[in-house]
Amino acid sequence: MILKDKKILVGITGSIASYKACDLIRHLQKKGAEVKAIMTPSAKQFVGELTIKALTGYEVLSDWKDGETGLEHIYMARWPDSFVIAPASANTLAKLRIGLTDNFLTSVALAYDKPIVIAPAMNTKMLQNPATQENIKILKERGYIFVETKEGILACGEEGVGKLADIEDIETVILYSIEDKPLKDKTVLISAGGTREYFDPIRYISNNSSGQMGYALAKMAYVLGAKKVILISAPTCLRKPYGVEKIDVVSAEDMYKEVMKYLPEVDIIIMNSAVADFKPKTYSKQKLKKAKEKPIVELESNPDILKTIGEKKSKNQVLIGFAAESENILENAIDKLQRKNLDVIVANKLNVFSSREHTGIIIFKNREKIEIPPMDKESSALFILKNVFK
Ligand code: CTP
């Protein structure tokens, strides 16, 4: 679990979106985190303190307690690995900007000595008001990390930006606030998913790659501070990771074109997609009818994208390939590493394709090897990137 052993403090301010903090707390716990929460007096008007206490398993701090030391805001500020304010109201943003400590949450914030994650939620006009915009700008300059709001229909019925970001995106930015930034200044290209090779408008040849590993790698490249992450994705059911630029493709040919277009501007290329090695030789614009004789689909080779990059790449570009093998994993992977001129290959058994878990081995050009212990795909993606880019 990606947040195992992480302590996360969720600060809840008053907003119609306050109830979404309950989902955030559960989500972070499911990812392995220990969560405590603090609420502003106004947040308590929107969501019950008892609900938050029951979810976290801790007393909800919203004030200094009689008979205590009066230093609880300092102790609380030293406790977490990450402090997120979600939802963050316009009022709290204004208080943070001027360093006001008129409640327990803003006092903890002022005493906190690491970057605070802020997920705002408010009416569009309130968000776009120059006062709020200036507060956000200044807080960003001071190192606060913002999770951009979403666009949609707001609780007031108006439409626009200002909706609280999705829980998964807030989680990504929390991770970003915790991890070191070995990919700072790097542009990373990642390919994901199984390509589809159509032979009529609705029928195609493909494979059972879910795309999960590629998407997890894109998310973790952002978390580790990449300047830009380009995810070139074959069709999947997955949502776009936060902070990532996603380009949708269908076939191996489409993927080849997009990868080649971006190749000159990237520092790191990770080919995780399951590219179909073959495509149908012909394509029928009309749906093929049930014929008396079964249709024969003749195949021809697709371009080997990884091999082409290996031939074209400059010596500053790092090229990482994946090898899913059913037998002789190590020998086959090393052979691919050499044949395709890779810097690193990640080898695993074929059964990781549709599985939630990943395990395998990282092999470097100099034959150094690192075992990847079995873990969920997000944890594995983070493990791979942290070990390759130490
Ligand atoms: N790959 C690619 N283009 C292809 C086929 C594969 O870029 N047409 C990339 C994959 O994204 C992966 C690596 O090559 O990073 C290895 O893919 P794999 O299917 O294991 O290897 P193949 O080269 O197809 O070799 P084989 O089928 O003989 O195992």
Instruction: Please report which residue ranges of 84-227 form alpha helices under DSSP H.
Output: 90-98, 104-111, 124-128, 130-141, 167-178, 212-223
pLDDT surpasses 80 at 195: yes
Distance CA 250, CA 235 (A): 6
- Predicted local distance difference test score (pLDDT) of residue 61: 86
Q: Which residue has the higher pLDDT, 37 or 352?
A: 37
Q: Is 237 a catalytic residue?
A: no
Domain extents in the chain: 7-178, 187-389
The tens digit of pLDDT for each residue in 3-34 reads 999 999 999 999 999 999 999 999 999 999 99
For the CA of 277, the nearest atom of ligand 1: 8
Q: Which residues approach ligand 1 with their CB closer than 6 A? A: 252, 271, 273, 275, 277, 302, 304-306, 321-324, 336
Q: Probe ligand 1: pick from 233, 251, 306, 340, max atoms within 8 Å of CB?
A: 306
Could you tell me if 56 and 200 are in contact, meaning their C-beta atoms sit under 8 angstroms apart? no
Is 144 a residue whose pLDDT tops 80? yes
For residue 257, say whether it is annotated as part of any ligand binding site.
no
Does the pTM exceed 0.85? yes
Instruction: Collect contacts of 250-254 with beta carbons under 8 A, ≥24 apart.
Output: 250/195, 250/196, 250/198, 251/195, 251/196, 251/197, 251/198, 251/276, 251/279, 251/302, 252/195, 252/197, 252/276, 252/279, 252/302, 252/303, 252/305, 253/279, 253/302, 253/303, 254/195
* Least trusted range by pLDDT, from 133-142, 248-257, 358-367: 358-367
Q: Model confidence at 292, in pLDDT bands (50, 70, 90)?
A: low
Q: Which atom of ligand 1 is nearest the CA belonging to 322?
A: 15
Q: Which residue has the higher pLDDT, 290 or 2?
A: 2
Binding site annotation covers 185?
Answer: no
To the question of whether residue 340 is assigned a binding role by annotation, the answer is: yes
Share of the chain above pLDDT 70, in %: 99
Is residue 205 predicted with pLDDT exceeding 70? yes
Distance CA 344, CA 257 (A): 23
Confidence (pLDDT) at 58: 96
Percent pLDDT > 90 in the chain is 87
Residues β-bridged to residue 358: 375
pLDDT at 293: 73
> To test ligand 1's pocket by mutation, which of 190, 233, 275 has the most ligand atoms within 8 angstroms of CB?
275
The whole-number average pLDDT for the span 47-55 is: 97
Q: Which fold has domain 7-178?
A: Rossmann fold (3.40.50)
pLDDT score for 311:
97
CA of 263 to the centre of ligand 1 (A): 18
3 state SS of 47? coil
Cα–Cα nearest to 120, from 266, 260, 238, 11: 11
The bridge status of strand 187-192 relative to strand 228-233 is parallel
Angle in degrees, CA 114, 168, 272, rounded to 5: 105
Which atom of ligand 1 lies nearest, measured to the CA of 301? 8
CATH number of 187-389, picked from 3.40.50.10300, 3.30.565.10, 3.90.1150.10, 1.10.3720.10:
3.40.50.10300
Closest-CA residue to 217 (of 370, 378, 343): 378
234-243 pLDDT, tens digit per residue, is 999 999 999 9
Q: Is 353 annotated as a binding residue?
A: no
Residue 342 has pLDDT above 90, yes or no: yes
Per-residue pLDDT tens for 83-125? 999 999 999 999 999 999 999 999 999 999 999 999 999 999 9
Is 229 within 8 Å of 244 (Cβ atoms)? Answer: yes
372 alpha carbon to ligand 1 midpoint, in Å?
A: 20
Q: Do domains 7-178 and 187-389 have the same CATH topology?
A: yes
Angle between helices 167-178 and 212-223 (to 10 degrees): 50
Q: Which residue has the higher pLDDT, 378 or 349?
A: 378
Query: Residue 349: pLDDT above 90?
Result: no
- The pLDDT confidence band at residue 67, using thresholds 50, 70 and 90, is low
